[in-house]
Amino acid sequence: MKRSTSFGLNQVDPNAYNGWAGFLNGCWSDADKMAALMGTAGYEARAFFDAECTMNRLRQQLEIAARVSEAGDTFYFSFSGHGTQSLGVWFSTEEGMACYDGILGDSEFRELLAQFKPGTNVVVDLDICHAGGLDRAFGQSARVAPLWSTRGKLVTPKAIVDVPANLIIRAACLRDELSGDVQFNGVPNGAYTGSLLETMDDGMSWRQWLTATQRYMSNRFPTQHPELIEVGGSGMADQVV
Amino acid sequence: MNSTFIDRWFERSKSSMIFLGLCFMLSVGLVGVGQLCGCRTATTAVDASRRFAPGLTITFPNPPTPGVVNLLNDCGAKRASEKAFVIPAYNRHDENQGYAIHQALVEGATLTGWRAPP
């Protein structure tokens, strides 16, 4: 069984963010089109928008998917909206996803993904600012990136031990980068998700798809560098979408 | 009339030649049919496993509201049941389809691939 859930937030609840609504334009379109794309690719796809995308909804969706998924099943999750980066312990940074009613941090995200059973396949696309920083949640307590770290100094994690599923995360940008909210032929989309849609071709693996997207974005959105984070070395990234 | 060597040889071997000819035609036919079947099977297998479905089935948890029904009708979707519509040819650049799909998703619809029945 293949399932897909997409979150798209063109705004957040100002009451939860000190009056800031964080308006964006392309996130609904991201969620719509990724859901449709995954539907045509054989997934059972759903999408949620704005006020539906609460922290509890995200938790619930991942918990349900983890509960019903068996070995061999694939779950795809995409999140388009704002990402956050804040100062953590000892000059480290902590990243998170801006849900409608608050920020879901990278540590909790890891715990949610850790519920998937061994042998299940999980793919996460994060079209948010600082998306590459979400990888820190996957077991590298020693991987502390100081705020002044530059792109060249960041270390991509090799193997993650505490998530039993075959997991890959595709991040729209590196930890210290921002993700663009742009237009493709007059239609709003995230720069990353729009590029994913432009580059998808029949029979591509998850890795090939991201490589094509990286190449596409290097010309059109050169300030954004999508990255692939593989967990466990299961070969998941080389499976056909 | 005196028969030539060729005539005599032909008379003697006629039935054998006919038999060999039939065998040849039969084998060519079998190989051809086999190849056709093989190709068709392989193509079908690739289609089923890899190629994206051309269309989408939109399944609602409850009967969709009249507004969404109108949007789906306007973008060429066909009603498949009380709670399901089919878009036979999905095109992400079609803004009418995009808006109808968005509203369907807002109403809790699930999207799955759709192919024309063989």
A contacts of B102 (beta carbons < 8 Å): 28, 32, 49
Interval A56-93: pLDDT, tens: 999 999 999 999 999 999 999 999 999 887 766 666 66
Which of A31, A36, A44 lies nearest to residue B92, judging by beta carbons?
Answer: A36
Q: How confident is the model at residue A106 (pLDDT cuts 50, 70, 90)?
A: confident
Chosen for mutation from A4, A9, A40, A52 (greatest number of chain B CBs closer than 10 Å) is: A40
The whole-angstrom distance between B56's CA and the closest CA on chain A is: 6
Model confidence at B32: pLDDT above 80: no
Which of A29, A39, A197 lies nearest to residue B111, judging by beta carbons?
Answer: A39
Closest residue in B to A52 (Cα) is B106
Looking at chain A, the whole-number percentage of residues with pLDDT higher than 70 is 85
Q: What is the ipTM of this complex?
A: 0.86
- Looking at residue A157, its pLDDT comes to 39
What is the C-alpha to C-alpha distance for residues A163 and A118, in angstroms, rounded to an integer? 8
Chosen for mutation from B52, B68, B101 (greatest number of chain A CBs closer than 10 Å) is: B52
Interface of B with A in 24-83 (CB under 8 A): 49-57
Mean predicted confidence (pLDDT) in A133-139: 55
If one counts every other C-beta atom within 10 angstroms of the C-beta of residue B62, the result is 10
pTM of the model: 0.79
- Looking at residue A92, its pLDDT comes to 65
Model confidence at A1: pLDDT above 50: yes
A contacts of B104 (beta carbons < 8 Å): none
Contact at CB, A203 and B50, closer than 8 angstroms: yes
What is the C-alpha to C-alpha distance for residues B70 and B67, in angstroms, rounded to an integer? 5
Checking A179-186 for CB contacts under 8 A at 24+ apart, the result is A179/A83, A179/A127, A179/A128, A179/A129, A179/A131, A179/A224, A180/A221, A180/A223, A180/A224, A181/A24, A181/A25, A181/A26, A181/A27, A182/A26, A182/A221, A183/A25, A183/A26, A185/B93
The whole-angstrom distance between B111's CA and the closest CA on chain A is: 5
Contact at CB, A203 and B106, closer than 8 angstroms: no
CA nearest to A87, candidates A49, A30, A37, A144: A144
Burial class of residue A148 in the structure, from the number of CB atoms within 10 Å of its CB (0-12 exposed, 13-18 middle, 19+ buried): exposed
Q: Which residue has the tokens 């045509």?
A: A40
